[in-house]
Structures are given as C-alpha cells and as structure tokens.
Amino acid sequence: MLKLTGGFLIILAGSLLGGCLAWEQDRICQEMRYLQGLMLRLRGELWYSRTMLPDIFRRLAREMKEPYDRWLSEMADRMCRKDGGNLVEIWSQGVEIHLTENMIPEKERQRLMELGSFLGHADIEMQIRYLDRYLEEFADAIKERQSMLGEKKKLYRSLGVIGGILIAVMLI
C-alpha cells in the first residue's frame, strides 16, 4: 500500500512538473506580447508627441508594470545626467540589469539591445522606421512561438506524466 501511494505521488509530481513547464511557455508568450505593446506605445509617443526620449520614457514608465517601469525611468534619469553615457550604453545596460529575469527569451533580449543603437541619434522618421522593422521581426517571433506553443505544452505535460510513471515503476 505504501509503495502504491509513493508511486502515485511520484506520478503526480511528474505531472505537476510538466504542467509548470507548460505554464512557463504561456508566460513567455504573454511577456513577449507585453513588450510588443510597450514598443508600440514607444512608437506612438515618438510619432505623435515628438518630444525628447527621456520625457517619453518617463511617461511610459508611469503606465508600465515591473520591471519595465524601472528600466524606462532609469534610462530617462541617466539620459538627463551629464555623466549618464550615450543612449546605446544606457539602453543595453538597462536591458541587462532590468530585463534579464523576466521571461523574454535570450534571442529576443539581444534583438531588443540592438534596437537601442538605432534610437536617439537619427531623426524621428528614421527612429520610427527602425521601430517598425523591430516590431515586424518581433511579431514574427511571437507568431512562431505561439505556433509551437500547443505542441510544446502537450509535450511537457506528456513527458511529466511519462517521467513520473517511469520513475514510479523503477522504484516499485
């Protein structure tokens, strides 16, 4: 009886692990869509308000959730200081510091860091074009991830259950 209970608990633990991994895939897609929304807002602010980037970053920071609000407000503060550095450094360091622990994949984080090198030094129309190109590539990455999402979730759940059964059988 004790072995059966232990086996059941192992199978349950494997199933829960698979479910957690599947949930993590959902969170990655949600985080990517949130970042896409932030970049769309940045594009809109650049296009319509035509103000300086620090002002845009401050305005966006008030409306965004953690960690994006800290990232944007720190960039605005550093851009206003004389010793803050150039935008490329500020942007890249901000991404490394504030956006490494969220669920955005490394490839997309690198692409976001590259975007910083195209902002701030060109005229507004060129910055908008760079943002548009980034948003197109990012939308493609989101579509690709979402197309595989169902398969990955099913795979993780199945592997969790099968792994739990395998371990339970080996122990019994």
Which residue type sits at 86?
Answer: N
Chain segment 67-98, per-residue pLDDT in tens: 999 999 999 999 888 776 788 888 888 898 88
The mean-pLDDT minimum among 99-103, 145-149, 159-163 falls in 99-103
Residues 32/104, Cβ–Cβ less than 8 Å: yes
Beta-carbon contacts of 136 under 8 Å, excluding residues fewer than 6 positions away, are none
Nearest to 88 by CA among 113, 109, 107, 69: 113
- Looking at the chain, the whole-number percentage of residues with pLDDT higher than 70 is 99
Chain segment 27-78, per-residue pLDDT in tens: 999 999 999 999 999 999 989 888 888 899 999 999 999 899 999 999 999 9
Give the whole-angstrom CA distance, residue 46 versus residue 8: 57
Chain segment 149-164, per-residue pLDDT in tens: 889 889 999 989 898 8
Q: What is the pLDDT of residue 119?
A: 84
Q: Which residue, chain included where needed, has tokens 């991994």?
A: 21
Task: Using the Cα atoms of residue 32, residue 37, residue 38 and residue 40 in order, give the sign of their dihedral.
Answer: positive
Give the whole-angstrom CA distance, residue 77 versus residue 81: 7
Mean pLDDT computed over every residue of the chain: 89
SS (HEC) of the chain: CHHHHHHHHHHHHHHHHHHHHHHHHHHHHHHHHHHHHHHHHHHHHHHHHCCCHHHHHHHHHCCCCCCHHHHHHHHHHHHHCCCCCCHHHHHHHHHHHHCCCCCCCHHHHHHHHHHHHHCCCCCHHHHHHHHHHHHHHHHHHHHHHHHHHHHHHHHHHHHHHHHHHHHHHHHC
Q: What is the pLDDT of residue 83?
A: 73
